[in-house]
Amino acid sequence: MKIYPDNSVILAPLAGFTDLPYRSSARRHGCLFAFTEMIDAGSLVFGHGKTLTMLKRGKNETWLGVQIVGSEHEILKKAARIISQHDVNVLDFNLGCPAKKVVRKGEGAALARKTEEAIRALEILIRNSQVPVTVKTRIIDEIDPAPTIHLVKMLVEAGAAAVTLHGRVMSKVYSGDVKFKIIAAVRENVKTQLIANGGVFSSSTYAELRTGTGCDCVMVARGAMGNPWIFDEIMKDADFYPPTSDELADEILMHVSDMAELYGEEIGMRISRKLMIDYLKGRGYPGELKNSVCKIKTLEEMRPFLDDVRLGPSPRFKKWVEANPAAPRRLTA
């Protein structure tokens, strides 16, 4: 049984981003399958209030996955049991995070390099979870597919219900090209559902990843930052119309208002600053407008900023977009 229907486009678990307001924004634009932020298993077990907030599911979320990262067996066991008490569809085990603070603890992508240890940890999650357990990991070698094939085969034999494979090695983090051939070789050699991940920022890069890997399903990560319309774009392709500057401002307001409601206005506005900047990136807005975000402390103070967003990007950027109609993150005049 497949975890995802064919042709699914999945919002990746993004630490510090994919909370309920972020997912709600993506779902307004066609995202059906989405994950919580990556959750540290230890923080979950020891009951940190912020961590439990990450498990909050929206009333209209028809599908929700939870991803955890960790390596200590007893903590993973307890974390799986806690998650099983919540309304989730999938528990995903992170074996791909390249962040230094994760790798230093021997977790994430570092744990994937120790195949036997990774398998034992996965087996503990599977035994203690009431929902299917999947894995998100990275390729091991950029040239030789054999090590990655071996890893994924072991994960599948241990009981992984599906595997998402990021096409870059741990040391490259998010730089360099995605190794389509390695992902394709893994897909040809494993029987479980394989989801391709890496480098999707538009409908064209989505098509390249699908064609290059042969995977039916794709996971979108950084390409959704400040651009929830990417799900509409992928689904509609040639029929997609980018948002207008008014629609961009409206989406920012809805997203940030949801943040203020969930976290309280003071905290919600503070952690929303990075989101507001993400919405402007690559859309031709001046640096001064992006810099002004750091001074916004309330929803009321955000209104002048939104007024400037509604004015649209610079004339120079508009001319550039006319000459580059396939550019990602463009706006409709």
Please give the residue range of the domain that contains residue 134.
9-236
Residue 3 within a domain: no
Q: Is residue 182 part of a domain?
A: yes
Alpha-carbon span 175 to 159, nearest angstrom: 31
Q: How many CB atoms lie within 10 A of CB 234?
A: 24
Q: pLDDT tens for residues 255-305?
A: 999 999 999 999 999 999 999 999 999 999 999 999 999 999 999 999 999
**In which band, very low, low, confident or very high, does the pLDDT at 320 lie, cut at 50, 70 and 90?**
confident
Average pLDDT of span 182-192: 96
3-state secondary structure of 132: coil
> Which H, E and C letters describe 186-247, residue by residue?
HHHHCCCEEEEECCCCCHHHHHHHHHHHCCCEEEECHHHCCCCCHHHHHHHHHHCCCCEHHH
| Whether pLDDT at 325 is above 80 | no
- pLDDT confidence band for 314 (50 / 70 / 90): confident
187 and 289 fall within a common domain: no
Q: Are the C-beta atoms of 258 and 24 separated by less than 8 Å?
A: yes
168-171, Cβ contacts within 8 angstroms, sequence gap of 24 or more = 168/138, 168/139, 168/198, 169/138, 169/139, 169/140, 169/141, 169/142, 170/98, 170/103, 170/109, 170/110, 170/112, 170/113, 170/138, 171/98
Looking at the fold, whether 167 and 249 belong to one and the same domain comes out as: no
92 with 123, same domain: the answer is: yes
pLDDT, residue 170, reads 94
Q: In this predicted model, what pLDDT tens digit does every residue of 133-174 receive, in sequence order? A: 999 999 999 999 999 999 999 999 999 999 999 999 999 989
- CATH number where 28 lies: 3.20.20.70
Question: Do 48 and 177 lie in a common domain?
Answer: yes
pLDDT score at 264: 95
Q: Work out the average pLDDT over 120-130.
A: 98
pLDDT of residue 319: 85
Specify if 333 maps to a domain.
no
User: Do 232 and 257 have their domain in common?
Assistant: no
| pLDDT for res 197 | 98
Is 64 a domain residue?
yes
Q: Which two tokens stand for residue 20?
A: 């309920």
For the stretch 15-74, pLDDT in tens is: 899 999 999 999 999 999 999 999 999 999 987 667 888 888 999 999 999 999 999 999
Please indicate, yes or no, whether residues 107 and 52 belong to a single structural domain of this protein. yes
In a domain, residue 2? The reply is: no
Q: How far are the Cα atoms of 150, 291, 302, 307 from residue 25, in angstroms, in the given order?
A: 38, 23, 18, 20
Give the model's pLDDT for residue 27.
Answer: 97
What's the CATH code of the domain at 272?
1.10.1200
Residues 223 and 250 in one domain: no
β-pairing verdict for 133-138 and 90-95: parallel
Segments of the chain assigned E as strands: 9-11, 33-40, 64-69, 90-95, 133-138, 162-166, 193-197, 217-220
pLDDT for the residue 315: 86
pLDDT at res. 48: 67
| 296 and 215 together in one domain | no
How many structural domains is the chain composed of?
Answer: 2
Same domain flag for 74 and 222: yes
**pTM for this model (two decimals):** 0.94
Provide the percentage of residues in the chain whose pLDDT is more than 70.
Answer: 99
Per-residue confidence (pLDDT) for residue 142, from 0 to 100: 95
pLDDT averaged over the chain? 95
Q: What does the pLDDT read at residue 323?
A: 84
Q: What is the pLDDT of residue 61?
A: 95
Instruction: State whether 151 and 290 are in the same domain.
Output: no
So what's the pLDDT on residue 318? 82
DSSP 332: B
Give the CA-trace dihedral at 218, 222, 228, 231, to 10 degrees: -20
Give me the pLDDT at residue 52, please. Answer: 80
303, 197: one domain = no
